[in-house]
Homo-oligomer: A and B are copies of this chain.
Amino acid sequence: MARSRTPPRDELERLYRALQARQASSLADPALSDLIGEILAESIHVLARYNRAELQTKIPDKTYFAFESRDGKISRAINSALYQPSPQDWNLFIAALRSENFAGIDEHMITCTIYSVAIGFCAYIDLTRTGDQKTPGTFFEYLIGHLFGSRLDLAPSTRLPVLNLDMNTTLPTDFVFDLGAGQPKFHLPIKTSTRERVIQVWAHQRVLDGVYGTGRFLGTPVILAETKTDTRRREVTEICLPDQWRIYQMHIAQLRRVYYLDVPAAYERLNEVFPPLHVVPFGKFFTELDDLTS
């Protein structure tokens, strides 16, 4: 009943369902870039009806706001510098993706446009549903899977055969992109945030290294952000465990990159210690691909 009174929400949901209906095997379809562009345009339209509430934060060099409904419900925290929702920017990025020519645009603009698509959709779900973590997570997985797959011109798989003496089974995995015989394969866990569950990413990398051989899979998780909002105090913090990440990287397995849309300050510093753990904005992936695979 409520639905017929809120057509804009229906439109965003209709677009989301069209995305969600795709199998992983069709995620590199160029048509999905246009569908995601429609989702961006629609989310700009519907979010314009909400106020922006400034949030406090002690994170250096970052400011955050949230969209706020009339009854005081707020969305997740949105990085003010990264949120620049622009269909034009999206189209520029998609044109570069399709032509495989990234000469004309910079990495930061790519990070901003992907961040704006992702956080805009997530914020709208935060405002219109209660306790739905699954829809933002699924949307983000499809968004990143599509963009990563488009860059490689490859669809992901989510199961790998295990042939090990008397074992003959399949291993369920996060998205895996296989560049072919004698080429690297990408292991791509995709999360809106990790918190204490992050050890799973290293553990899955360890299993891939163990079953198929170290170096065969490049572990490159893509994560949206690690922000947490205290809704009463309206304050944003980043939940980070950099010492533990270093221990995981030394003792469980080696990740090649950790890509973030909104790179947490405490993890950015991991680039500067030895041995470095490369935590970089996701926009960089599109231009550094050749370095990763060579």
Is A202 positioned at the interface, with any CB of B under 8 Å from its CB? yes
Is A179 positioned at the interface, with any CB of B under 8 Å from its CB? no
The copy count of this chain in the complex is 2
Shortest CB distance A206–B (Å)? 5
Which B residue sits closest to A251, measured CB to CB?
B210
Is A95 positioned at the interface, with any CB of B under 8 Å from its CB? no
Question: How many chain-A residues does the 8 Å CB contact rule pick out?
Answer: 25
Q: Which of A218-226, A227-235, A239-247 contacts B (4 or more CB under 8 A)?
A: A239-247
Q: In whole angstroms, how far apart are the Cα atoms of A46 and B276 in the complex?
A: 57
Is A204 positioned at the interface, with any CB of B under 8 Å from its CB? yes
Is A102 positioned at the interface, with any CB of B under 8 Å from its CB? no
Q: In whole angstroms, how far apart are the Cα atoms of A102 and B216 in the complex?
A: 51
Is A18 positioned at the interface, with any CB of B under 8 Å from its CB? no
Verify A252–B203 contact, CB threshold 8 A.
yes
Interface residues of A (CB under 8 A from B): 162, 164, 167, 169, 171-172, 197, 199-200, 202-204, 206-207, 209-211, 243-244, 246-248, 250-252
The 9 closest A-B pairs by CB, nearest first: A210-B251, A203-B203, A169-B243, A199-B203, A207-B251, A206-B252, A199-B200, A203-B252, A211-B251
